[in-house]
Amino acid sequence: MNEKPNVLRPTTTDDLLDIIAGHRSVLPVGNRTKPGCSPCPDDAAGNFDRPALVSLTELSGIIEYEPSEFTFTAHAGTRVTEIVEILKAKNQYLPFDPLLVDAGATLGGTVASNAAGPGRFRYGGVRDFLLAVCLITGDGKTIRAGAKVVKNSAGFDIPKLIVGSLGRLGVMTEFTFKVFPVPSARTTIQVRCRSHDEAIEQMSVAASARWELDAIDYRVAEKTICYRVAGPKPSNDLIAGEILDRSSGNADVISLETSDRYWTSVRELSFTGPGAIVVKVPTTTTSFLELADAFADNSNVEMHLSVAGSLTWLAIQSVPALLDVEKTLGELSLAGLVFRGPVETMWLGQRRRYEIDRSIKQAMDPANKFPSLWPDD
């Protein structure tokens, strides 16, 4: 992965504590599969306050896994792919489709960037499966929040707060996740639409239908919806049959190989070229349509709609086109987070700030050891 600038790699918790104590500012990272979330301008650019990057990849491994509890606990630096394999052996999985698994994403990076894929639609995202977290604060205190059981409402929900916190509220070192049994089979149906409006209408009907679909994604350039059905194969086949019947010849069930390729391309954000700047934009079906309209004639901006309309991925082919995206998102009151790309800012579009942002950062990081979430702070 990207080894520039220098990344510190503690091999014990004591090492980590020493690094935190020994630097004025630190920024925890994982395997840097989403470098956009930890931009580090060069010293040459005049930024002498650059934080020390601390990668947790050497603090990895599963700590406990009890399949009958539907929970596992693992170090933050553990690669998601390792977790996926261990769970698979017991017919379990993380239903939210963690992103960039093949690319080497870690659990810590997945939580910090809130990286969920198409499966987020059915049972929830990172926030909904994270039960407990161990966090080291800037003053070297170890925080253990949440509980290692699937149901808990004691105390403030700090595990949820750190989802999406981009390593700016503390160094996450351990997590307990809830897992589910893997559905016995999956079937993917592809539906070709004439327009985005038609696609959104169809997707909304399907999302509310009795079928309880597992995932609904939309490849914008091809105007093609993919529905994923999960469950016993005979019932998947019947539901797929009904979807085909309703699609007047514009749909077909795609082969396992093709569907694996499709869902992998979303999960690995490889539906676009490796050089593209990839931005996550939370949307609704309505705001997606506005975005699609705004970028209809812009060949530098590719789009993929995930989670039945809730998540638009923008793939931007050139740095100058980023300016258009920034402007458009702002005009549409949308905000984006850069996952990948050679840019110095994480945030695009609307910035909505409150006093409480500052107070929460202060409460979580009284030593002010971690960079601010928002650059104008």
Cβ of residue 21: shortest distance to another protein, in angstroms? Answer: 15
Q: Does 114 bind another protein (CB under 8 A)?
A: yes
Instruction: Return the residue of 363, 368, 375, 377 that touches another protein, per CB under 8 A.
Output: 363
| Among 191, 195, 203, residue whose Cα is nearest residue 309 | 203
Select the span of 9-17, 26-34, 54-62, 68-76 touching another protein (CB under 8 A): 68-76
Token pair of 164 as six digits:
């999406």
Q: What backbone phi and psi angles, to 5 degrees, belong to 270? A: -105, 15
Answer for which of 31, 38, 57, 137 binds another protein (CB under 8 A) is: 137
Q: Are 319 and 277 in contact (CB under 8 A)?
A: yes
Q: Give the range of 23-31, 100-108, 180-188, 216-224 binding another protein by CB under 8 A.
A: 180-188
Helix axes 285-294, 319-331, angle to 10 degrees: 130
At residue 65's C-alpha, the angle toward residues 61 and 67, to 5°, is 145
Question: Helix 196-208 to helix 285-294 angle, to the nearest 10 degrees?
Answer: 160
CB of 83 to another protein, least distance (A): 19
Nearer residue to another protein within complex by CB, 8 or 334: 334
Choose the stretch contacting another protein; rule: CB under 8 A; options: 19-27, 214-222, 259-267, 356-364.
Answer: 356-364
Query: Residue 97 has which token pair?
Result: 């489709």
Q: List the one residue from 62, 145, 244, 343 that touches another protein (CB under 8 A).
A: 145
Q: How far is the CB of 112 from another protein (least distance, A)?
A: 10
One of 42, 66, 85, 102 touching another protein (CB under 8 A): 66
* 356 near another protein, judged by CB under 8 A: yes
What residues from 303 to 342 belong to the interface with another protein (CB under 8 A)?
Answer: 307, 309-311, 335-337
Q: Which of 9, 23, 50, 148 binds another protein (CB under 8 A)?
A: 148
Tell the smallest beta-carbon distance from residue 108 to another protein (Å).
15
Site size for another protein (CB under 8 A): 86
Of the two residues 9 and 209, which places its CB atom closer to another protein in the complex?
A: 209
At a CB cut-off of 8 Å and minimum separation 6, what does 43 contact?
50
Peptide bond just before 98 cis, omega within 30 deg:
no
In the complex, the smallest distance separating the C-beta of residue 295 from another protein, rounded to whole angstroms, is 18
- Binding status of residue 194 toward another protein by CB under 8 A: no
x-or-dash pattern for another protein, window 157-176, by CB under 8 A? xxxxxxxxxx--x-------
Residue 101, exposed/middle/buried by CB under 10 A (0-12, 13-18, 19+)? buried
Contacts of 205-208 spanning 24+ positions with Cβ under 8 A: 206/243, 206/308, 207/121, 207/308, 207/309
DSSP of 339-366, one letter per residue?
A: EESS-S-SEEE-----HHHHHHHHHH-T
What DSSP element (H or E) covers 324? Answer: helix 319-331
Question: What is the footprint of another protein within residues 1-60 (CB under 8 A)?
Answer: none
Binding segment for another protein among 2-10, 45-53, 179-187, 262-270 (CB under 8 A)? 179-187
